[in-house]
Amino acid sequence: MAGKKTAAVLACAGSGSRMGSSCRDKLLLDQSGIPVAARALRAFDRTEGIDYLVVVTQEPLIPLYRTFREKYGIEKELLVTAGGATRMESVYKGVSAVPEDFEFVAIGDGARPLIRPQEIRAVLEAAWVSGAAALGTRLTDTVKEVREGRIVRTVPREYLVGIQTPQAFRRRTYLELAAAAAKTRETFTDDAAIYEYFDRPVSFVEGRRDNLKITLPEDAALILALLEE
């Protein structure tokens, strides 16, 4: 499928607070000789259809992320910019930094080092057709609702999915909806949730269960084991 001009924004501004005091920035953890965020960035760099890269990080880390292009063989133009107080604010700043002539933007997490170019491309192709798309996997476990430590019901899983990144959107529409969302009191845990709030459709693209995000210390150990395989 012929693509439309697309940039990628990689969210790398999180503090990694749930990783514990021993690791304040999970994105710089060494995974088989390459930092977590650099692995994720290389996947976007190698994806056909993405022509521009933006990394959003903490202000003190900007010089370090700028070294990634030469150090880890990033071929596409790379802009590194400062994030905000929340993930939503950081992503908005990153998308705003994309040049005006880019019609679409793919939003990814620096904490997902196992993402593959073919999955990124599949999300792009879906977004180019529908205007918005998100990667995820269908749930296979039985899902229960728990209140005050007690199981109260089984939730039908037929229509349930676990959502991942990347998620891709028409750039101008995303900026308009995100600006409007920032004026509400709602909490948006991912970018697709902004579209849901305003009743805008987002296409679902099925991915892999091992497209893991490093959130807890055990996640890093599992990802390292998968890489070593």
Q: Is residue 191 part of a domain?
A: yes
pLDDT given for residue 20 in this prediction: 42
Strand, coil or helix: 128 = helix
Map tokens 């709602």 to a residue: 186
Angle, CA of 62, 68 and 72, to the nearest 5°: 170
The tens digit of pLDDT for each residue in 14-63 reads 654 444 434 347 888 887 789 999 999 999 999 999 999 999 999 999 99
Listed as ranges, residues in the chain with pLDDT below 50 are 16-24
- What is the total count of domains within the chain? 1
pLDDT given for residue 19 in this prediction: 41
Q: Residue 8 and residue 184: Cα distance in Å, rounded?
A: 26
Domain encompassing residue 84: 6-228
Map tokens 């599949």 to a residue: 122
Per-residue HEC secondary structure of 7-18 comes to EEEEEECCCCHH
Q: Is residue 72 part of a domain?
A: yes
Q: Is residue 18 part of a domain?
A: yes
| CATH number of the domain encompassing residue 45 | 3.90.550.10
Burial class (CB in 10 A: 0-12, 13-18, 19+), 49: buried
Q: Is residue 1 part of a domain?
A: no
Q: Is residue 216 part of a domain?
A: yes
Q: Is residue 162 part of a domain?
A: yes
Q: Is residue 95 part of a domain?
A: yes
The tens digit of pLDDT for each residue in 145-157 reads 999 999 999 999 9
